[in-house]
């Protein structure tokens, strides 16, 4: 069985380096007493914290929240895969709904996926649908399929390229466009099963308002191979409880 994956998406938090240092050290310490053979933990902090966190973390792996599709050159404000590689990062979130809301589209997401794979970073591709809860499963599947096809065009899975896909329905995210309510474990399992049929070699996780209360019932669905955690990953005890839930069931 693939190790379950819990990813902290810190977004533009915490406000200071000191807090980032303290939070990550506490999480690392919390992992000491856990069975780490069943779960892999990743923190995706803002870029600016990478130089410090890379020296602090031993059990936790590092990732980033976005990357440029370009290799180098005149791209103001962007950071390349090669630059990220210097900081011992292994993962990159690509196509998050908060980036799609800024205008990022399938073709650009696809170029970023290729850039990440070329530089041996594992993409965590986010797919999801709409801001309303009222869509049917069939409608969601149709849009998720299109997002997968666009994002993964030309990717060669036979080369053992590792890929994680996060099913993140936009309405379920805790802030911004979301309602703050996770989907039911059954809904998440159904969509994840569907994504696994479409992309059998990917590890598929769920994201959207995961917290210590709903983590056990989400984790009880074996098909859910982990979680992408935003808000709750900024609270030490919440995040540790989520990791525990996914490492125990
Ligand atoms: P949330 O965020 O856990 O705060 O809903 C998840 C995400 O946006 O990746």
Is residue 207 in contact with ligand 1, taking CB distance under 6 Å? yes
> Which two tokens mark 184?
């039911």
Interatomic CA distance for residues 181 and 188, integer angstroms: 13
**What is the number of other CB atoms lying within 10 angstroms of the CB of residue 193?**
13
Residues 14 and 236 sit within 8 Å (Cβ to Cβ): no
Percent of residues, the chain, with pLDDT higher than 90 = 82
The yes-or-no answer on residue 225 being catalytic is no
Q: Which residues pair with 42 in a beta bridge?
A: 7, 61
Which ligand 1 atom minimizes the distance to the CA of 231?
4
Residue range 55-107, pLDDT digits in tens: 999 999 999 999 999 999 999 999 999 999 999 999 999 999 999 999 999 99
Residue of 96, 122, 121, 90 lying closest to 108 (CA atoms): 96
Query: Which residue owns the Cα nearest ligand 1 atom 9?
Result: 230
Is residue 214 in contact with ligand 1, taking CB distance under 6 Å? no
Is residue 128 in contact with ligand 1, taking CB distance under 6 Å? no
Mean pLDDT of 44-64: 96
Interatomic CA distance for residues 62 and 44, integer angstroms: 6
> Which two tokens mark 20?
């980032």
Residue range 120-167, pLDDT digits in tens: 999 999 999 765 667 888 989 999 999 999 999 999 877 677 999 999
> Which two tokens mark 55?
């020296």
- Report CA(158)–ligand 1 centroid distance (Å): 31
The yes-or-no answer on residue 168 being catalytic is yes
């Amino acid at each position: 069985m693939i190790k379950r994956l819990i990813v902290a998406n810190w977004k533009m938090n915490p406000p200071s380096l000191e807090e980032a240092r303290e939070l990550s050290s506490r999480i690392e310490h919390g992992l000491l007493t856990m069975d780490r053979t069943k779960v892999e933990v990743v923190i995706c902090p803002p870029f600016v914290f990478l130089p410090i966190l890379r020296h602090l973390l031993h059990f936790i792996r590092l990732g980033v929240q976005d990357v440029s599709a370009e290799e180098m050159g005149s791209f103001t404000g962007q950071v390349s895969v090669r630059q990220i590689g210097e900081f011992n990062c292994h993962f990159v979130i690509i196509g998050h709904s908060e980036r799609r809301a800024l205008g990022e589209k399938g073709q650009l997401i696809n170029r970023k996926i290729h850039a990440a794979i070329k530089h041996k970073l594992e993409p965590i591709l986010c797919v999801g649908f709409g801001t309303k809860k009222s869509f049917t499963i069939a409608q969601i599947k149709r849009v998720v399929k299109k997002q997968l096809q666009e994002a993964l065009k030309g990717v060669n899975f036979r080369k053992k390229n590792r890929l994680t896909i996060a099913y993140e329905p936009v309405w379920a995210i805790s802030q911004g466009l979301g309602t703050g309510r996770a989907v039911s474990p059954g809904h998440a399992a159904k969509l994840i099963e569907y994504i696994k049929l479409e992309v059998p070699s990917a590890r598929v996780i769920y994201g959207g308002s995961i917290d210590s209360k709903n983590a056990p019932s989400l984790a009880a669905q074996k098909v859910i191979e982990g979680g992408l955690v935003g808000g709750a990953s900024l609270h030490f005890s919440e995040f540790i409880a989520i990791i525990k839930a996914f490492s125990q069931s």
